[in-house]
Structures are given as structure tokens and as C-alpha cells.
């Protein structure tokens, strides 16, 4: 293996090692960038999850607050106004005024059915009255179709077997699908805060989990805050005393309808204040104006649509108004305390199934009501698909691919799972895949990597060029030494031998002396030409002042070169054929070229043909052709020509064609390289061309004017 090959292999190994190191650094940097992008996407998704949970819990909290403030007696189609808070379980007596419940016509579009489990075990609904109450409802308040739909819903609810769920003790919050209550969350948060103190931070395990604990603490704290908000909106109304009842004094005359209505409205406002804990907005006058009274002070019939609208608006007061009852004085009703519990969410499975698909689960909100030592349960059958659609629509801008999964079973929730749970109902938020952040192809890190790669490649190419140039220089120096040594050894040997013989008087014959002197003269010229070629080639690479020679006609320049060219051809037994164009009386275009350099180029071409044009046709053609702005000189022979593989090699310094390497013709291999360099200095070009019927054809093109 040569030294140059070993150097190239060492350079390739070093460059491969550097490239592998740079590749590893690049991969690590891009992987770090990807992880940072995923972390940003995860952080963005966590923020979206927190905001989404707040939005959905706030929407459900509003429903809980509305339903928690609803009096228990509104869960009957009609209720007697005088004993709404006291003797609700007694039969309706003749002459009692029945107030229509605002739930008679249905409630929110998210609620399928309002229902009540009475102490006697009957499941009823204010939307599905029975008996005379149904006749009254159909005649003045609701359409029969709505009652039929409510009956179907009530029958479907009864088939679910909800009695077992209604009798379960109510948990402390609305969400009961997970056993992670607020006190546990606050305790967990305290433990995590304690773990972040200096004495706990000394533990390596605590140090490794500080980031996870911080995120878990924030998640549990937010869940506890949402749970507190749900509890406040779902706060039970405990020990509500009945409001004052409006009765008529015996024998007193009936009061005018306007006064009765005003007193009824005032009583309704006071009842609303006692129930809701704040002043109720006064009803609009047009509600009272639409009600009709007869001369006895009782409620009279009017248009069906008017009564229906009036009943809904009166129901919004959330207090009974004894409309149509003869009014006179106020008296306290008999005592009796009321206790309403909070609503809690329950998922109900169809009977006979233990693990049905989650889509078959039904969502109920149930509360316990205790009145006069009797217990009943009231609740709402929510339309879970509609609720889910409403909840997901509220967060579609944050989590467009989110899903909600019911949690029918009661089980402990892990800290990680708490961050996906709703605090109002037992539902888990499935946020979907993290958002795809746009990948920027031009980042500071990637720009640095690109510049590093460019610098490494540039440095590698530079080192490779320098190494290649140094190896080429070393090889050229070796070839130069070998060629010069070979070219100088023969003439110097002859010169030393003949000069010594002549000096010692060993050659006495005059003819022999003349031949010896002629040989010495020829060898001295050969030595001079070798030295001159080397010096001329060395001068090509040196900067020198540009000297603009005087313009000379092409004919005159050619005339100066022809004598030497003919002599060189004659010595090689070649016939120089001059094929010059008609240059005219002016001598053709004028060349701004050094005549000596042009002669040197043509002489090298003729000398090259004399050495290698070995063939039966001993003609050597010198052609001159004129083209616009240029003068073309061609030297063509009838030798074997130059193979295609040697066409570029022969113009390299100290190089000869492979076919000429085995010949004994003297030469350094500088002729063509020197000729091309001189042609370039003159602003021209020297090239090898091919033509049918010829061997090698060298063409010299020089600028002329």
C-alpha cells in the first residue's frame, strides 16, 4: 500500500469519526427539540384540560344550583297552596286551590323527566299527572302528547329499577363515581407541601418526584376548588319553616280581585325570600292581569294559552300563590319542619346487566326530602347524550377531539386520574391526542446545527483538497526527479565521456573528432532544452508583470516559426506540409502574442509528432485557418493517434501516454503541459481534436484582430 493511499485512508477514517460524532450530536439535538415540542404540547393540553373542566363543571353547577333551589312541592303536578310546606301528604280537600307546578310542562331540554319516589313506594312525575289532575292539565296547561311522552319516560324509568339507587345514602358531593373527596384532596395537598420542605427535599426519591408532585398538587387543588364550587351550588336547604298561610276570616266579605292579587303577589315574594335567602324579583303586572276571578273571589277559567303562560310565570317565583282563594287575614299554619338534601349523581344500569356498554347508562340526579318524619326522593333523569353534546360543545375550541366517559362504579381515584374528573358528576374527560404543534424547520438550534455541518463539510473538503494537492505535489516531484534524472543522465554521460576522450587525446582522427564535437553540441542543446523546459514551466506558476507585445500579422509570425519547424521535421525524416490559408497582402489578422511563445508551442507540437508519429505516411501537416476574431493553427500527423483514456493525461506535467511509456524516446513529459500553459497566457487555447484519416491533431487557437 502506497503512502498516499494510507494518508487517504487515515483521512477518511478521521472524517468518518467526526461525521459520526456530529450525527450523534445532531440526533440528540433534534430529539431534544422533539421532546421540548411534545412537552409544550402536553403543557398546552393540560392547560386546555383545566379550562375545559372548569367550563363543564360551571355549566353543570348552574343546573345543580337551579334544581337545588327548587321547592320540593314542585315535583307534583298540582299542589295545594295553603299547605305546600306542611300537610302535603293529605288528600286534597274540596275547595282547596291547586297551583300548577312549573315542571308540569317540562323543564330544561337537558332533562328528560322529573320524578319523585313517594313514601308509599310509588314513582310519580310532575310531568305525568293522573286522574282528575290529568284532565285539568290537558284542559288548560299542557298538550296531551307531552303527557304521553312523560308517561313513556316514567315507565322506562320504572323499568330501570331505580328504587335501590334512590334508597342509597347520599354522599357529600354531587360526584360519586370516585372516592376522592375534598378533604382527602386537601390532606394530599398538605402532604405534598410538607414533602417540598428542606428536610424532606434531602431525600433523593423526593427530589426525583418534585415535578410530578407539583403537578399533582396543582391538579388536586383545582379539583378541590371545583368540588367546593359544586357543593356551594348544591347546598341543601335544611330545616325550612313554612311560610305564613293566607286564610279567610269567617263571615268577612270577599275582597276585590285587584287587592287579592296584590296580597297574593306580596305573599309570594315573602315566601321566595324565605326559600331562596334573597329578595325575589317582583313578578310582572301582566301576569296578574291575565288571571280572571269570579265574584266569589275564586279562580275562574280563561283561555288555555293564557293560563298556561301564567302558570309558568307564577311557577318561576318558586313559592305558592293561593290564586282564587278568598283572602282576608294572615294566620300561621300548623308547624312542621322540612329538610331537603343535596342532589347527587347516579349512573343506572338496565336490569339484569352488570357491565353494559357505557352508552346504555342513564344519568340521574337524586335528593332526599324529609317532611313530617316522612322521607321521599326526588330527582331528574338527565338526557345524557344531550348533556354530553352540550358539555363537549362548550370546550370544542380547547379540546376538539375530547370524549366523556361515565364512571358507573365507585372506586378510589389515583392522583393522575383526578386531573380528568368532573367534580359535579362521575364522568371522566378523555382529552384525545395532544395538539400537533407546527414544526418549524428554521430554529436557532437547527440553524446552529446546519452551520456546524457546513463548517465540518467545508473543513473536510479543504483538508481533502490540501491533502490531495500535497500528495499530487509529492507525486509530481517524484515524477520530476525521475524524469529529469533520466533525461539528464544520458546526455551528461555522453558529454562527460566524449569530453574526457577529447581532452586526453584519445581521438586522433580528425573526422572522429568532428563527429564527437557534433555529438557534444547536440547533447548540450538537449541539456539546454531540458533545463529551459523546466524553467519555463516553473515560470508559468509565478506572477509576472503583464507585458503587451506589439501586434504582429499572422503571416509574419508564421514565417518566423517555419525554419525551425522544418529543421525539426527533417531530423525525424518527416515531410512538413504547409497548408496556410490566403492571408492576403496584409498578412492576415494581427496577433497580440509573443512570437517566441507561439514558436515554442508549435515547436513542441512538431517535436511531439516527430517522436510518436510512427507510420508509413511520413507527412506532417501545418494548417492555418482564419475565423472571426481568431487565428487557428493545427499540427496533424498520420501516426497511431492518442487513445481516449490518455486525452486528458497527456496535458499533465511529467506525464506521457501509456503507449509512450514503453518507448525509448527521450522527454520529460512537459511539452504539452508547457504548451497549454503558454497558450493560456496568450489568451488562447490548446486542445486535442480528431478527424478521419489522421492520427493526432493538436489545435492552437489565438485571438486576433
606, 698: one domain: yes
Cα separation values, 89 from 69, 73, 86, 367, 389, Å: 21, 10, 9, 18, 39
528, 588: one domain: no
Q: What is the pLDDT of residue 152?
A: 92
The CB density around residue 61, as the number of other CB atoms within 10 Å, is 21
- Give dist(CA 101, CA 321) in Å, integer: 11
- Give dist(CA 496, CA 490) in Å, integer: 10
Range of the domain at 631: 552-703
Is 322 inside a domain boundary?
A: no
In CATH, what number is assigned to the domain containing residue 629?
3.30.565.10
Whether this prediction's pTM lies above 0.75 is answered by no
Q: What's the CA dihedral at 313, 318, 321, 323 to 10 degrees?
A: 30
DSSP letter for 122, please: -
573, 620: one domain: yes
Q: Which residues contact 566 (CB under 8 A, 6 or more apart)?
A: 576
- Give dist(CA 159, CA 362) in Å, integer: 12
Model confidence band, residue 322 (pLDDT cutoffs 50, 70, 90): very low
Place of cell 517566441: 596
466, 479: one domain: no
Q: What is the pLDDT of residue 367?
A: 92
DSSP letter for 244, please: P
Is 128 inside a domain boundary?
A: no
Place of cell 517524484: 478
pLDDT for residue 43 is more than 90:
no
Q: What is the DSSP string of 412-436?
A: ---HHHHTTB-SSSSEEEE--SPP-
Long-range CB pairs of 470-473 (<8 Å, 24+ gap) are 471/4, 471/7, 471/8
Model confidence pLDDT, tens digit, residues 168-184: 444 444 444 444 444 45
Is 79 inside a domain boundary?
A: no
Is 17 inside a domain boundary?
A: yes
599, 568: one domain: yes
611, 688: one domain: yes
Is 624 inside a domain boundary?
A: yes
Q: Which of 488, 513, 540 is the last residue of a domain?
A: 540
Model confidence band, residue 316 (pLDDT cutoffs 50, 70, 90): very low
679, 563: one domain: yes
DSSP letter for 106, please: -
454, 489: one domain: no
**Domain count of the chain?**
3
pLDDT for residue 622 is more than 50:
yes
The predicted model gives 336-359 an average pLDDT of: 73
Beta bridge pairs of residue 78: 100
Q: Which of 505, 520, 540 is the last residue of a domain?
A: 540
Model confidence pLDDT, tens digit, residues 445-473: 888 989 999 999 999 999 988 888 888 87
Q: Which residues contact 667 (CB under 8 A, 6 or more apart)?
A: 483, 487, 611, 656
Helix, strand, coil in percent for the chain, rounding step 5: 50, 15, 35
Is 250 inside a domain boundary?
A: no
DSSP letter for 444, please: H
> Which 3 state secondary structure label does DSSP give 598?
helix
Size of the chain, expressed as the number of residues it contains: 705
587, 657: one domain: yes
Model confidence band, residue 332 (pLDDT cutoffs 50, 70, 90): very low
Strand-strand pairing, 619-627 and 575-580:
parallel
Q: Which of 423, 457, 473 is the last residue of a domain?
A: 473
624, 511: one domain: no
- Give dist(CA 563, CA 560) in Å, integer: 7
In CATH, what number is assigned to the domain containing residue 506?
1.10.287.130
Q: What angle do CA 575, 578, 584 make, to 5 degrees?
A: 165
Grid coordinates belonging to 291: 288571571
Cα separation values, 203 from 199, 207, 295, 396, Å: 8, 6, 87, 43
591, 696: one domain: yes
Q: What is the DSSP string of 330-381?
A: EEPPP---EEEPPPEEEEEPPTT-SS--GGG-EEEEEEEEEETTEEEEEEEE
Is 391 inside a domain boundary?
A: no
CB 686 within 8 A of CB 679: yes
Q: Which residues contact 614 (CB under 8 A, 6 or more apart)?
A: 639, 640
DSSP letter for 140, please: H
481, 465: one domain: no
Is 393 inside a domain boundary?
A: no
Model confidence pLDDT, tens digit, residues 645-656: 788 778 887 777
CB 75 within 8 A of CB 103: yes
Amino acid at each position: 500500500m502506497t503512502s498516499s493511499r494510507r494518508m487517504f485512508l487515515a483521512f477518511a477514517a478521521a472524517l468518518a469519526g467526526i461525521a459520526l460524532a456530529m450525527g450523534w450530536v445532531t440526533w440528540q439535538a433534534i430529539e431534544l427539540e422533539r421532546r421540548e415540542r411534545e412537552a409544550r404540547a402536553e403543557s398546552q393540553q393540560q392547560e386546555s384540560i383545566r379550562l375545559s373542566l372548569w367550563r363543564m363543571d360551571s355549566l353543570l353547577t348552574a343546573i345543580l344550583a337551579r334544581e337545588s333551589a327548587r321547592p320540593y312541592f314542585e315535583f307534583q303536578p298540582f299542589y295545594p297552596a295553603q299547605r305546600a310546606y306542611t300537610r302535603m301528604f293529605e288528600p286534597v280537600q274540596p275547595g282547596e286551590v291547586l297551583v300548577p307546578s312549573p315542571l308540569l310542562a317540562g323543564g330544561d331540554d337537558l332533562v328528560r323527566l322529573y320524578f319523585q319516589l313517594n313514601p308509599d313506594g310509588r314513582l310519580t312525575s310532575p310531568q305525568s299527572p293522573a286522574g282528575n289532575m290529568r284532565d285539568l292539565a290537558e284542559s288548560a296547561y299542557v298538550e296531551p302528547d307531552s303527557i304521553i311522552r312523560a308517561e313513556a319516560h316514567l315507565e322506562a324509568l320504572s323499568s330501570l329499577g331505580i328504587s335501590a339507587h334512590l334508597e342509597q345514602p347520599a354522599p357529600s358531593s354531587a360526584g360519586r363515581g370516585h372516592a376522592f373527596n375534598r378533604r382527602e384532596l386537601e390532606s394530599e395537598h398538605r402532604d405534598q407541601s410538607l414533602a417540598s420542605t428542606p428536610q424532606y427535599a434531602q431525600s433523593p426519591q423526593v427530589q426525583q418526584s418534585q415535578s410530578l408532585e407539583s403537578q399533582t398538587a396543582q391538579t388536586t387543588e383545582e379539583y378541590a376548588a371545583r368540588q367546593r364550587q359544586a357543593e356551594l351550588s348544591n347546598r341543601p336547604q335544611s330545616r325550612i319553616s313554612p311560610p305564613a298561610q293566607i286564610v279567610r276570616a269567617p263571615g268577612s266579605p270577599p275582597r276585590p280581585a285587584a287587592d287579592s292579587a296584590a296580597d297574593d303577589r306580596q305573599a309570594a315574594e315573602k315566601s321566595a325570600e324565605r326559600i331562596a335567602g334573597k329578595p325575589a324579583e317582583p313578578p310582572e303586572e301582566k301576569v296578574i292581569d291575565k288571571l280572571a276571578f269570579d265574584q266569589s273571589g275564586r279562580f275562574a277559567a280563561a283561555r288555555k294559552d293564557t293560563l298556561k303562560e301564567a302558570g309558568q310565570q307564577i311557577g318561576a317565583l318558586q313559592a305558592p300563590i293561593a290564586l282564587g282563594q278568598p283572602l282576608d287575614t294572615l294566620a300561621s299554619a300548623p308547624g312542621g319542619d322540612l329538610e331537603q338534601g343535596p342532589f347527587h349523581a347516579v349512573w343506572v344500569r338496565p336490569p339484569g346487566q352488570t357491565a353494559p356498554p357505557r352508552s346504555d347508562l342513564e344519568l340521574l340526579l337524586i335528593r332526599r326530602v324529609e317532611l313530617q318524619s316522612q322521607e321521599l326522593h326526588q330527582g331528574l333523569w338527565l338526557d345524557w347524550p344531550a348533556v354530553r353534546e352540550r358539555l363537549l360543545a362548550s370546550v370544542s375550541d380547547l379540546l376538539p377531539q375530547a370524549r366523556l366517559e361515565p364512571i358507573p362504579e365507585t372506586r378510589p381515584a389515583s392522583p393522575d386520574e383526578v386531573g380528568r374528573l368532573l367534580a359535579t358528576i362521575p364522568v371522566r374527560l378523555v382529552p384525545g391526542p395532544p395538539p400537533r404543534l407546527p414544526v418549524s424547520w428554521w430554529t436557532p438550534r437547527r440553524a446552529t446545527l446546519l452551520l456546524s455541518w457546513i463548517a465540518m463539510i467545508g473543513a473536510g473538503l479543504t483538508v481533502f483538497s490540501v491533502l490531495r494537492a500535497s500528495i499530487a505535489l509529492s507525486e509530481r516531484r517524484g515524477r520530476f526527479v525521475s524524469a529529469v534524472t533520466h533525461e539528464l543522465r544520458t546526455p551528461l554521460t555522453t558529454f562527460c565521456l566524449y569530453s574526457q576522450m577529447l581532452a586526453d587525446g584519445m581521438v586522433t582522427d580528425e573526422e572522429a573528432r568532428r563527429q564527437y564535437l557534433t555529438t557534444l553540441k547536440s547533447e548540450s542543446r538537449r541539456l539546454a532544452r531540458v533545463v529551459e523546459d523546466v524553467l519555463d514551466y516553473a515560470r508559468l506558476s509565478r506572477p509576472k508583470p503583464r507585458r503587451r507585445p506589439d501586434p504582429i500579422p499572422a503571416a509574419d509570425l508564421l514565417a518566423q516559426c517555419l525554419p525551425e519547424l522544418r529543421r525539426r521535421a527533417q531530423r525525424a525524416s518527416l515531410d512538413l506540409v504547409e497548408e496556410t490559408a490566403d492571408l492576403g497582402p496584409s498578412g492576415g489578422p494581427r496577433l497580440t502574442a509573443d512570437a517566441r511563445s507561439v514558436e515554442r508551442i508549435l515547436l513542441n507540437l512538431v517535436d511531439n509528432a516527430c517522436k510518436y508519429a510512427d507510420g508509413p505516411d511520413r507527412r506532417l501537416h501545418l494548417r492555418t485557418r482564419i475565423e472571426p476574431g481568431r487565428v487557428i493553427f493545427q499540427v496533424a500527423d498520420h501516426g497511431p493517434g492518442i487513445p481516449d483514456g490518455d486525452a486528458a493525461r497527456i496535458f499533465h506535467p511529467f506525464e506521457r501516454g501509456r503507449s509512450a511509456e514503453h518507448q525509448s524516446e527521450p522527454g520529460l513529459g512537459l511539452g504539452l503541459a508547457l504548451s497549454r500553459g503558454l497558450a493560456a497566457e496568450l489568451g488562447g487555447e490548446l486542445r486535442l481534436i480528431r478527424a478521419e484519416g489522421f492520427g493526432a491533431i493538436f489545435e492552437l487557437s489565438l485571438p486576433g484582430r
